[in-house]
Amino acid sequence: MKSHYAALVLAALGFGASSLQAAAMPAPRLGGVHPVAAVHRAGIAGGAAVVGHLHHIVTIGSTVDPQNGDQNPYGLMIAPSTSGLLTQGDLVVCNFNDNLNIQGLGTTIVFLHPTPGASPQRFVQDGRLTGCNALATSPGDAPWAAAFTANDNPFYDSTGNLIANLAGAPLAQPWGQAFSGTKGPYGVAAFYTANAADGSIVRFGIRQNSITMKAIASGFPVNHGVPGTALAPSGLTYDASDDTLYFADGDVNAVYAFHNVSLIPPHGITVGNNGRTFSGVAGSLAEMVFHGSPLGAPISMAQLFNGNLVIGNTTNNDLIELNPARHAVVSMRNLDHHAVGALFGIAATGTSASNTQIFFNDDNDNTVKVLQP
């Protein structure tokens, strides 16, 4: 990306000159071998079950776009601050389908205040959002979208104005999005996306004068599904405490972790044996955290205050709570007893079991709901 657009992105993200200078460092190499191969995994977090303490499901409001009727909410994020159109805590949702409920033709992002009875307000409508399925943001309320059908990643400021649109290789049906504010050899910060077409993980490295798009891993299992049936790496969730990127792969019912993800170089990980083995210079930093039942074609995921992960099944609408440190399921809860395939998009807040809220999109009735104490 040209430096002009990179500067706009950095301004929207809220990075100043000092942080840029601190991050402007080359990718290190020693004797021709990338030292990431010798990096030890950080200890990942995990704690006691939380979902069992959450007893009430409350509807926040409709996610249908109030102007063109787009529906079928997929992407969900929580506004981290008050800026532009957004107030801290607002729920920001993108619609995957159009007003005729045709899969993958939605073009809108809406937002709701996180209180029951809230009404959706349009944030942006843009053809570059076609098939939007995931959202992530920096601390400055600047949404970055993964658009499956448009095959791009448009990026907006907090007022809904387009800052830039990233398209072309290595994007291949973007299917998940996460933001990392961790500085590393590849930028002051990064967004990560997964590709549904080829099972790769792509990093958008944000530098002072450019934004680079590089695949850091390839070969995760995918089912090559059309909109509405795609299963691939998704539900990207970043843990800043130990620089770990988590994601699910609904094609093989697995959860993965990339440890020290900010250090993984381009093409650093190659996946083999149907998602079970990892090679390449950074292969030691990849891990299958969990595999098999009770996971059922998960697409969405979020992290709780204690490091546990909550994962949304599309086969039965169950919410699965996983302790990644123990590689164990610690709790389960059904969120919708009606038609399967309701859970797309999860986001969580809270600092303890007593105040945790898990927000989720329910595609059966086009709403965003909350599971809470």
- pLDDT tens digit string along 35-92? 565 565 656 778 999 999 999 999 999 999 999 999 999 999 999 999 999 999 999 9
Number of domains forming the structure of the chain? 1
Q: For the segment 117-168, what is each residue's pLDDT rounded down to a tens digit? A: 999 999 999 999 999 999 999 888 999 999 999 999 999 999 999 999 999 9
State which residues form the domain around 81: 3-24+59-291+345-356
| 367 located within any domain | no
Q: How far are the Cα atoms of 32, 264, 311 from residue 185, in angstroms, in the given order?
A: 16, 9, 31
Q: How far apart are CA 372 and CA 241, in angstroms?
A: 25
| 211 located within any domain | yes
Q: How far are the Cα atoms of 121, 131, 184 from residue 72, in angstroms, in the given order?
A: 16, 10, 37
Global pTM value: 0.93
On the CB side of 47, CA atoms within 13 Å amount to: 11
| 337 located within any domain | no
Q: Which residues of the chain have pLDDT under 70?
A: 1-43
| 131 located within any domain | yes
Residue 243 sits in a domain whose CATH number is 2.120.10
| 244 located within any domain | yes
pLDDT of the residue at 208: 83
| 229 located within any domain | yes
Nearest to 234 by CA among 302, 150, 330: 302
Amino acid at 322: L
| 301 located within any domain | no
| 320 located within any domain | no
